[in-house]
Amino acid sequence: MEYRFTVSAVRDIKKLPKSIQKRIIIKLDFFCKQEDPLLFAKPLTDYRTGSFRFRVGEYRVIFDVNDDKMKILRIGHRREVYR
């Protein structure tokens, strides 16, 4: 599975420190290389922000899945990303 960032997700990740950016990219690569990446994801109850989320430390990656592509919608600290 491959992933793509939306414009808002790119904006979100650029605001983070370089070490956190690198950590998130490494985790996304790991998840996408798995046979079923959704085993590592949790479904969201409020679908306005997205369908699923990955946990990367204190940060969350909100995304949707269409066919065999993952669309990264938002990236942020767990306190703020769901607002």
Q: What is the pLDDT of residues 38-78, one digit of tens each?
A: 999 999 998 888 999 999 999 999 999 998 899 999 999 99
Instruction: Give the mean model confidence (pLDDT) for residues 9-17.
Output: 97
Assigned fold of 2-77: YaeB-like fold (3.30.2310)
Instruction: Give the mean model confidence (pLDDT) for residues 10-39.
Output: 96
- Enumerate the domain spans of the chain: 2-77
CB neighbour burial string for 64-82, b if at least 16 within 10 angstroms, e if fewer: bbeeeebbbbbbbeeeebe
pLDDT at 10 over 90: yes
